[in-house]
Structure 1
């Protein structure tokens, strides 16, 4: 039996998800979205002409994200990479559709990836899971981020316990789960202890 190539399957599933998510609202151009977003009091993600407001983060979310970024910063500086938390968009082009997401953590090490409002060539993306975003992070974004040719690893970081899932391109995006020890990151050629990611949360 013939099988649909994985890339085609991902694009097909993403198309279905985007069609399901889209509301009967006027479509917004990419140019208008990029012009209006800096003036908005809240952030919006953009999916093929539709915008979706983002909810605020919990205290635990902020503590985890800040500790993770702090742990990555020395290695990122050594490699002349740029590290962003929450406020930098990533732009994706999938079958003629444009998407902008706001990853919780984004790392770009490509010197050509220097647009002022978004990144297009990240090598690492991480999302801190919450009840309101977990389904999207595990399904829609996991598939969408795989289409970024520069991306080496995608991390999902739990809030309800010390648990990190790592999806790597070299492992065909199969999940690796860590609840202790060190996580090796190909993007930075360095290891980060799980305990470091949760250090501030455990001290709160």
Structure 2
């Protein structure tokens, strides 16, 4: 491991051994360790709501839903990310600590991470043959964007507002967008949505 002024460099093997011993979470980007910033209350609430809704809906299915603290191996030995919510229904992920075959990834956006979530991370996540849906959830105002892989392998965007229902094709679950925002206080509008 090499530490420079504000960068920590290490091999993937060093990262995988070191990272579980840390209090905070760190992603791994081609040899560089990147500290994850803490989220806001709204970020935490929306992530938790999404996790709970999916976990309850998939309780009798052979799918696992994880929130925040489970890594996704994006490129073996090169990139490991922590999505806000990830779902895998692949038996190959059953007895491992790292998800390698996700079907659904959710990122809850914040001003500091939105460009990365929309850009670099989405580009890397699209490389998963198993990924069917990539979801971006706003927390400054209600709004959900779902990118779905169609039958030709192209990614198609669908947008959802507060009164809409979202059908997650990858896992066969339907959710009310309003339920994702239960108990969220929107700062820009002084509106609290209690669901």
TM-score category (smaller protein): 0.7 to 0.9
Give the 3-state SS of the residue equivalent to 2:183 in structure 1. Answer: helix
**Equivalent residues of 1:79, 1:188 under 8 A apart:** no
Residue pair 1:67, 1:200 contacting (<8 A) in 2 also? no
1:137: Cα distance to partner? Answer: 0.3
Aligned to 1:153: 133
CA contact (8 A) 2:145 2:158 kept: yes
* Structure 1 partner of 2:32: 50
Q: Larger relative CO (CA 8 A, sep 6+): 1 or 2?
A: 1
Instruction: Name the SS for the 2:91 alignment partner.
Output: coil
Unmatched 5+ stretches in structure 1: 1-22
RMSD: 2.0
**1:165-180 map, 5 Å:** 165-170=145-150, 172-179=154-161, 180=163
**Residues 1:123 and 1:41: Cα distance change in structure 2 (over 3 Å):** same
Residues 44 and 53 of structure 1 are in contact (CA less than 8 Å); yes or no, is this contact kept in structure 2? yes
- Pairing partner for 2:70 from 88, 91, 95: 88
1:1-204 matches, cutoff 5 A: 27-93=9-75, 98-170=78-150, 172-179=154-161, 180-201=163-184, 202-203=193-194
Mapped contact 1:105–1:127 kept (Cα < 8 A): yes
Residue 74 of structure 1 and its aligned partner are, at CA, apart by 2.3
2:148–2:156 contact (8 Å) kept in structure 1: yes
Does structure 1 retain, via aligned residues, the 8 Å contact 2:13–2:77?
Answer: no
SS at match of 2:145: strand
- Deviations 1:124-152, CA, capped at 9 Å, x for gaps: 00000001100000001111100011100
What residue is the counterpart of 2:189 in the other structure?
none
**Structure 1-normalised TM-score?**
0.82
Aligned residues: 180
| Contact map agreement 2:8 2:33 (CA 8 A) in 1 | no
Bigger helix share: 1
Q: Distance in 2 between matches of 1:197 and 1:25?
A: 36
Local SS of the residue matching 1:38: helix
TM-score, normalisation: structure 2: 0.86
